[in-house]
Chain A
């Protein structure tokens, strides 16, 4: 019998302790508030600039972006990707390091590397990407990166790149080449050589 009442006493007592804690938090709602009204307010993305020799190494995980004018088509990022969501096609440029105005190809990257390849296709399927960041490390030109954070100067943050159609999540970075232009690059005309 006394056990019965002791149980009830324990229950009420421990419940009361718990209620006191929740009450205290409710009274301190200004201080203890940890949520934000999301679409209007957002947490800041952490900024940092340390690590891996380069001063501005990328630590944000977000949408990938490629500065296609800097890309030399070395396929290193494609090989690093564990889920194969980067697809690159390249065509050998007629002369290394020379501009080809009619396909808007620049011969040199901003680092001064001479390009030997014309990138005819560069797609990243962001719906397949697992944001592992493995593709950004091997790039010799540092032209593939995740937007925002330490890279905000290169590309502003793109928080929720939501789309209505899944195919819209396949981002195209290469300049559009028409079939004739591709053909022209692959089989240079004899008179051009002459």
Chain B
């Protein structure tokens, strides 16, 4: 039987489309209802992060890293300061390490909640989105209580953090976790096990493990394909090697391994693991002065460093090159969302237009980070 070729049509999705998580334009070549090619056009949110960093001092780069991945700004800060500390050979006090991990994991939960909620919204489920945003709000409240800002924190500094935790933060955070853990079951009942949702996502947009690896897809998207790779476990930075947690991988829960549902499901499981890490960290957090190791002047020696960290979207790498002056010679950011977007074309070929939305949402890209 030959292939019937219908009329080719080009369909534009975006730049302002609710499911593009930022400003992204997709040029979709369709054959009838079937997608034959997708060309993502990016750059709408380009703000010259890398070039701009060459003109500001090292501490002034941190507010700009916030604005790359604005949904997980703590993790963006985290990657930069860890790289800088490696370059300057600073050993931060233990309390700082713990605070950073608490903040990073809280932000991972917040980011995943938004990713899952918006994914439901893309598929057509409105209520879970509201519930997840309600709980994300409580995390943002905790951030506001800690550092004054709700979204773009500039909280982690090279050699420390800007403020110590508020006095009763541990109590508030434990209270939140106690409230939050039963909510996960509620989300599952509301969205995850919903048959309509499962039908929309299971078996759709399968990324086989070898394709994911060859495209450099990382983070939950890679783990959804069954590859157990987590920088926190395999190349521990900060003090992640002290905590006990699992790296959840997709298992083809309702369909094929590596489908949209698996990517969604891995995020849901990761939230649980983050809760686990948070409980351990809150239990053993030591006292101490968080400003003890702040350098008077940040002037790293000549040299360069590349350090990758696990942001909610995957391997977030910073390459920093110093020429011995107070401003960086070069800052390069390896964005996990960029590689996730690059795989979209290959994965969506042969699927319907409405599935493209499901695939795009399951990749959880943030355009601020892709365009930088």
Q: Give chain A's interface residues, CB within 8 Å of chain B.
A: 7, 10-11, 13-15, 17-18, 21-22, 25, 34, 46, 48, 50-53, 57-61, 80-82, 130-134, 146, 149
Contacts and interface: CB of A to CB of B under 8 A. Distances in A.
Contacts of A17: 189-190, 193-194
B311 to A, nearest CB: 20
15 contacts: A14-B193, A15-B196, A18-B194, A46-B141, A50-B166, A51-B290, A52-B291, A59-B146, A81-B60, A82-B60, A82-B64, A132-B152, A134-B59, A134-B63, A146-B148
Interface size of B as a range: 35 or more
Interface in B46-85: 56, 59-64, 66-67
B144 A46 contact: yes
Contacts of A48: 145, 166-167
Contacts of B290: 51
Given A15-B195, A130-B63, 8 more contacts: A15-B194, A18-B194, A34-B137, A50-B164, A59-B146, A131-B149, A132-B62, A133-B162
B134 interface: yes
B153 to A, nearest CB: 9
B127 interface: yes
Nearest to A8: B195
For the residues of B in contact with A, the DSSP-based class is helix
B111 interface: no
Interface in B179-237: 186, 189-191, 193-196
B195 A7 contact: yes
A183 B57 CA distance: 35
A31 B252 CA distance: 38
Contacts of A130: 63, 67, 152
A18 B195 contact: no
Given A134-B59, A134-B60, A51 B195 contact: no
B163 interface: yes
A149 B193 contact: no
Interface of B: 56, 59-64, 66-67, 127, 131, 134, 137, 141, 144-149, 152, 154, 162-164, 166-167, 186, 189-191, 193-196, 290-291
Contact of B163 (A59, A132, A146, A149): A59
A11 B193 CA distance: 9
Nearest to A130: B63
B186 A21 contact: yes
Nearest to B193: A14
A59 B224 CA distance: 39
B195 A50 contact: no
A132 B195 contact: no
A168 B145 CA distance: 30
Contact of A57 (B66, B163, B194): B163
Given A52-B163, A82-B60, A134-B59, A14 B154 contact: no
Contact of B145 (A10, A46, A52, A134): A46
Contacts of B131: 25
A51 B146 CA distance: 10
